[in-house]
Amino acid sequence: MIAEAETGDVGVFGGRKRAARGERYAGEGPAEERYVVGELDDHDEALPRIPTPAQPGTWQAPDALEQHLYELLTRHAATEWEDEEAAEEARGDMTLAYLEALAGDLVYVPFRREDTSPDPGRRTFHVHDTPVGRLVAVYTRGVLPRPHPHFVFEAYTLRDLADDLPRDVDGIAVNSQTPCPMLMSADAEERQVWRALHNEHWDEDGRAERLVALRAGAPPLGPLLHGLALGAHMCFVNGEAWNNPHYHGLGLSIEHERLAKWWGVTDRAGWQETQRRLLAREVTPWYWEYVLDTRTALAHRYTDGRLQAVDATAWRECVESTLRERAAQQPDEIGPDWEEFVGHVVGLVGKVLRYEGRFRADGLLAADAAVRSVAAWDLGRASMMARWGYGSRFATRAEMREAVVEASEAAQSAHTSWQDFSAGYALGRCLHFDDEEFGGWYQEMLAAHRTLATHPDSPWHTVPFHVPRGAALGG
C-alpha cells in the first residue's frame, strides 16, 4: 500500500513550467507537451558511485543490507586460507550468503526511461559486453543515487530477475562501484538457485511494518529532515526509510501504479494539484477540524484549556448551534441534505470521543490528553506525496524539498509534539477509513505509534519536533 487518498488546477507547484528539451514523458499529455522534469532536474548521478574506503572495514553503509554485504566481503578478504581449495570453498560459502541476503529483499535494475515499461516483458535490459561476459547491473536499495529524470530503476525479487533476464545474459554485477560489489553467474543452473533462495528467504509481510532509517546519506538536522519525519507512519507501514530524501520506492512502474490506484495521480499536473491540496489541508473534510476547534474554544472558555474536561453535550450543542449560525448567514449555500449533514457533523463528537477512549487504552494518547487537530493527516501525506512525486518523475528535487519543508512548517504550527502529531494522524486515518471497526487501518497506526515511541532510530528520538526555520536544508 502506498497511501490513503483522494485527488482533486493550479499552475506549477514550486517551480516554473516551460518548454523543455529532451524526451516527452510517456503518457503525459499531448504529443507537443515536453518532459518538464527532464529539463529542470537533469544531473550527472545516474548510477551509484561510492568510493571504497582505504581502510578495510570502515565503511558506514546506508542500510543494514549493504552493511551485511560489506562485512561478508571484508571478512572474506581478510582471511588467509590454507590452500586454493579451501579458498574456493570459502568463496562459495560467502557468495551463497550474499545471495541469501539478496533473496530476502528487492534488487533494482537501471533502465533508460524509453526502455522500461509497466509490463516487465516489454522492458529492454541494458547489457554490458565485458571481458567476462554479458552482464546486467543490479543494485540494492540503500546504494541508489538520487532519482534521475532519464535513467530509472525497476525493482525485482531474485526470482523475478531469474525469470525476466534475457537468456543470453551471462551474469549480474551487483552494486558495482560501491564498497560491496559482487559478480555472479546468471546461467540456467544459477537461476534455479535464485528461485530456490527466493522461496526460502522472501517474506512479503516481513518487509512491511518496520522502522527503517538510513545510517548514511540522510539530511542533517533541519527543516528537510523534520519534514521527512512527518511521513514516518507511512514509511513504517511500507518498510521505507523515513529519512531518505532520494525516494525510489518499489521502482518507477510500481510507483506509477500505486499513485494511480490510491490517488488518481497519473501525470505531473495531477501530482501538482494533489500536493497543493494536501499542503493546504484541503483533502481532509473541513468539518473534522471544525469539530475539534469547537472543543478547543470551549476548553479555553470553561476548562482552563483542558480538552478532555469539555462536556460532551455542551460540545455537541456548540457544534450544532454554530453550524446553524453559519447557515443563517449564508442561506444560499444550504442544500437539500443540510439536516443530514448537520447530524453527521454533530455525530462526529461521539466518534472522536470513542476513538480517543481507545487511543488512551492502547497508549496512543496519554490518560489526560485529547486530539487537538487532524492537520497531521494531510501534512504527513503531503510529506510522502512529495517523495512519491519525485520518485515517479512528476516532481523535481527542488519541488520535493520545497513541499517537504512547507509541510514541516505547517505541522509545527498545528501540533505541539511528535505524540500530538501522531494522535492527529491516527485519528484522521481512522475517520477516513476505519469507521470504528478498530481493524487493520487502526492497528497499523497503533503499531507505528508504539514503534516510533520506542525505537532508538525513530525521528521522535533523533529530531526535535520544533526546528529553527533558518536551519540548513542539507540532503
For residue range 33-87, what is the model confidence (pLDDT) as tens digits?
578 899 899 999 999 999 999 999 999 999 999 999 999 999 999 888 888 888 8
> Which pLDDT band, with edges at 50, 70 and 90, does 318 fall under?
very high
Look at residue 250 in the predicted model and tell me its pLDDT. Answer: 97
Q: Where are the alpha helices (DSSP H) in 250-374?
A: 252-263, 268-279, 286-302, 312-329, 338-362
Q: Which residues, other chains included, contact 296 with Cβ-Cβ below 8 Å and sequence gap of 6+?
A: 307, 372
Q: Which long-range contacts (CB under 8 A, 24 or more apart) does 285-289 make?
A: 287/345, 287/348, 288/348, 288/374, 288/428, 288/431, 289/373, 289/374, 289/375
Q: What is the mean pLDDT of residues 349-366?
A: 98
Q: What angle do CA 10, 14, 16 make, to 5 degrees?
A: 80
Q: What is the mean pLDDT of residues 256-273?
A: 97
Residue 375 confidence (pLDDT) above 60: yes
Q: Which three cell numbers stand for residue 241?
A: 526509510
Residue 28 confidence (pLDDT) above 60: no
Residue 8 confidence (pLDDT) above 60: no
* Residues 273 and 10: beta-carbon distance below 8 Å: yes
Positive or negative: CA dihedral 280, 286, 392, 1: positive
Look at residue 12 in the predicted model and tell me its pLDDT. Answer: 23
Look at residue 471 in the predicted model and tell me its pLDDT. Answer: 59
Q: Which three cell numbers stand for residue 334?
A: 444550504
Task: Tell me the one-letter amino acid at 135.
Answer: L
Q: 211: helix, coil or strand?
A: coil
Q: Which three cell numbers stand for residue 355?
A: 476513538
* Residues 248 and 398: beta-carbon distance below 8 Å: no
DSSP state for residue 23 in the 8-state scheme: P
Look at residue 356 in the predicted model and tell me its pLDDT. Answer: 98
Look at residue 33 in the predicted model and tell me its pLDDT. Answer: 59
Look at residue 334 in the predicted model and tell me its pLDDT. Answer: 76
Alpha-carbon distance of 353 to 332, in angstroms, equals 33
What's the number of CA atoms in the CB half-sphere (13 Å) around residue 143? 31
Alpha-carbon distance of 108 to 153, in angstroms, equals 6
Alpha-carbon distance of 464 to 196, in angstroms, equals 45
Alpha-carbon distance of 451 to 242, in angstroms, equals 13
Class of domain 64-207: alpha beta
Q: What is the mean pLDDT of residues 386-400?
A: 97
Q: Are strands 151-156 and 107-112 parallel, antiparallel or unpaired?
A: antiparallel
Q: What is the mean pLDDT of residues 302-320?
A: 95
- Percent pLDDT > 70 in the chain is 92
> Which pLDDT band, with edges at 50, 70 and 90, does 470 fall under?
low
Q: What angle do CA 85, 88, 90 make, to 5 degrees?
A: 110
* Residues 28 and 268: beta-carbon distance below 8 Å: yes
Look at residue 473 in the predicted model and tell me its pLDDT. Answer: 63
Alpha-carbon distance of 370 to 352, in angstroms, equals 9
* Residues 242 and 459: beta-carbon distance below 8 Å: yes
Look at residue 328 in the predicted model and tell me its pLDDT. Answer: 83
Q: What is the mean pLDDT of residues 304-325?
A: 95
Q: What is the mean pLDDT of residues 451-468?
A: 96
Look at residue 232 in the predicted model and tell me its pLDDT. Answer: 98
Q: 108: helix, coil or strand?
A: strand
* Residues 170 and 63: beta-carbon distance below 8 Å: no
Residue 25 confidence (pLDDT) above 50: no
**If we measure between CA atoms, which residue out of 451, 430, 458 comes closest to residue 4?**
430
Report residue 37: phi and psi, to 5°. Answer: -60, -35
Look at residue 335 in the predicted model and tell me its pLDDT. Answer: 79
Residue 16 confidence (pLDDT) above 60: no
DSSP state for residue 22 in the 8-state scheme: S
Mean pLDDT of the chain: 91
Q: What is the mean pLDDT of residues 423-451?
A: 97
Residue 14 confidence (pLDDT) above 50: no
